[in-house]
Amino acid sequence: MAAAPHRQPAPSPRPPAADEPALARPVERLAAVQDRLAGWISDLTTLHDLTERLVRTDTLESAVHEALRAGAALVGARRGLIALEPADGLGPDTTVGLGLGASDIGHIETLPRDSAPHARLLDGRPGAGAGEGRTGPGGLREITHPHIARDEDLDPRHREVAARLGYAASHAVPLTARSTGLLGAAVWLYDEPARPTERQRHLLGLYVRHAAEHIARQVDLARARSAVATVREELLPTRLPRVPGVRLAVRHRTGPRGGGDWYDVLPLPEGALGLCVGGVTGSGPDALAAMGRLRASMRAYAVMEGEDPVAVLSDLELLLRLTEPARSATVLFGYAERTPSAADGPEAGTRVVLAGAGHCPPLIVGPERTEVVETALSAPLGMLACWEAPSVEVDLAPGETLLLYSDGLLHRTGEPLERAFTRLRAAAVAAVPAVRADPDALLDHLLRSVLPGERDGAGGAGGGTAGAGGEVRDARDAEDAVLLAACF
């Protein structure tokens, strides 16, 4: 009988080796995946929050400041700057700092362009050195100086400025948009030797691409606003004329879209003076163009028949119907001359003939009175088949001021027109004698009283003050506002 085959005992389960990777265990592998997913969710949440803050900015300056702040948070830096130099050469060329004063930025701008990291990116030459000229995640070029004091390849001036300003490392990236190409470059500064981690670089790359597109849109808007402001300034008087016996002052506040309000002071033959405030409907470049045409025509008509304000407005109305049939306009025109019977006396008065088309009534402000000039109630130009309304004549005593203004001043209060006009008149009544006697002081007083949020207008014929950086603080600020004062 054959012997039974020898059977090896079944091997007992092998205990895991002490150095076996933890990820080999299913439970721990799942935990690692969960940790990675949690990290991704955290990163996406951070990017979402930062980009939401960015898209809420509505000016170029605020967008650049927000991009700097967010980038510093992503790479763990405390300071930085963005240098804007759009590749098309149309500007704006500017440098904005985070945690840097004007003198600090000035020191950094003294660096040779072949050493300053943001300048090298702007010039399209990252260079070659320790940690420099890398291509980061997503193809974003980067220049990193992890230890500036020990980097012998850097220009000595670079190390000197870094030591003076107290930063030890830097990380720079370009700002590039699809529509405009290279916009500028950003650099963040570390207080201690450091470099961003791979994760930080990845998040920064994602954010910078989005930020560059938003900044490019704000650059386009800033250029458009600048162009509109330039056109507006060219269409309005750059300064008021010098007229013997008359002191003039004007304040012009404009909305960001460039409204069609205008003013004019025109010396006329025989020592007379033409005064005008008006506005066309609409806003933007087309309204500015229409305003420029009407103002130029008004000047021509005032020279030809200014002593008859009704004829001046009748001619203007005919021109408006022929050239701007879809528009209307409000105008107030006054023809002022010294009283003939007292022309040689030391206390000669002034006679003013006024005609208005749908415009707010002017005010007379003097040492003894504050009165409303009741002009004839009339429709704006372009609203009727044929416009005509009677003129009104007023006599001003020496030292009295005639105040003309646009309805935008009343609209900016946000109140009904009647209540806003009452506030304006009350402010004129409350002016002290010294303010009444000075047209500039009177206009500043009225602006402070009627529009408390407005800043004093130092520039006589200056442009608008819609808000810091040009943004609209409120929907009412979109209205133009004009105040013109003539003290005889």
What one-letter code names the amino acid at 183?
L
Query: Angle CA(276)–CA(483)–CA(292) in degrees, nearest 5?
Result: 45
Whether 454 shows a pLDDT value over 70: the answer reads no
Compare 485 and 47 and report the one with higher pLDDT.
485
Residues 434-447 as b or e (16 or more Cβ within 10 Å = b): ebbbbbbbbbbbbb
Whether 4 shows a pLDDT value over 90: the answer reads no
Q: Give residue 20's pLDDT.
A: 53
254-265, pLDDT tens digit by residue? Answer: 766 657 888 999
Q: Which residues contact 415 (CB under 8 A, 6 or more apart)?
A: 423
Structure tokens given for 342: 């007292």
Q: What is the dihedral of CA 352, 353, 357, 361, to 10 degrees?
A: 40
The mean per-residue pLDDT over the stretch 430-437 comes to 92
The mean per-residue pLDDT over the stretch 151-173 comes to 93
Distance CA 305, CA 287 (A): 26
pLDDT band at 468; cut points 50, 70, 90: very low
Structure tokens given for 193: 């030797």
Q: Give residue 229's pLDDT.
A: 76
Whether 342 shows a pLDDT value over 60: the answer reads no
Tell me the CB-side half-sphere exposure of residue 103, using CA atoms within 13 A.
2
pLDDT > 70 fraction of the chain, expressed in percent and rounded: 80
Q: Where are the alpha helices (DSSP H) in 189-332?
A: 198-235, 285-305, 309-323
Which structural domains are found in the chain, ordered by start?
42-227 (3.30.450.40), 236-487 (3.60.40.10)
Q: Give residue 347's pLDDT.
A: 58
Q: Give residue 108's pLDDT.
A: 93
Placement of tokens 């749908």 in the chain: 358
Q: Give residue 88's pLDDT.
A: 87
Whether 72 shows a pLDDT value over 60: the answer reads yes
pLDDT band at 32; cut points 50, 70, 90: low
Distance CA 269, CA 266 (A): 10
Q: Give residue 21's pLDDT.
A: 54
288-301, pLDDT tens digit by residue? Answer: 888 888 888 989 99
Q: Give residue 107's pLDDT.
A: 92
Whether 35 shows a pLDDT value over 90: the answer reads no
Nearest residue to 351 (alpha-carbon basis) of 398, 299, 389, 297: 398
Nearest residue to 439 (alpha-carbon basis) of 365, 361, 371: 365
Q: Give residue 463's pLDDT.
A: 37
For the ranges 122-126, 204-208, 448-452, which has the lowest average pLDDT? Answer: 122-126
Whether 82 shows a pLDDT value over 90: the answer reads yes
Q: Give residue 473's pLDDT.
A: 42
The mean per-residue pLDDT over the stretch 162-177 comes to 94
Q: Which residues contact 204 (CB under 8 A, 6 or more apart)?
A: 71, 74, 75, 136, 173, 196
Residues 173-194 as b or e (16 or more Cβ within 10 Å = b): bbbbbeebebbbbbbbbbeeeb
Whether 460 shows a pLDDT value over 60: the answer reads no
Q: Give residue 274's pLDDT.
A: 94
3-class secondary-structure state, position 243: strand
Q: Give residue 55's pLDDT.
A: 92
pLDDT band at 62; cut points 50, 70, 90: very high
347-375, pLDDT tens digit by residue? Answer: 568 999 999 888 889 999 999 899 999 88
The mean per-residue pLDDT over the stretch 208-227 comes to 91
Q: Give residue 451's pLDDT.
A: 85
Nearest residue to 158 (alpha-carbon basis) of 193, 109, 124, 103: 109
Q: Give residue 265's pLDDT.
A: 93
The mean per-residue pLDDT over the stretch 225-249 comes to 82
Cβ burial, residue 360 (10 Å; 0-12/13-18/19+): buried
36-45, pLDDT tens digit by residue? Answer: 666 677 778 8
359 close to 328: Cβ distance less than 8 angstroms: no
Give the DSSP letter string of 113-142. TTTSHHHHHHTT----STT-SEE-GGG-EE
The mean per-residue pLDDT over the stretch 62-71 comes to 95
Nearest residue to 58 (alpha-carbon basis) of 387, 429, 469, 475: 469
Whether 60 shows a pLDDT value over 50: the answer reads yes
297-340, pLDDT tens digit by residue? Answer: 989 999 988 889 999 998 898 888 888 888 888 899 999 998 76
Whether 54 shows a pLDDT value over 70: the answer reads yes
In 124-190, where do the E strands start and end? 134-135, 141-145, 169-177, 181-190
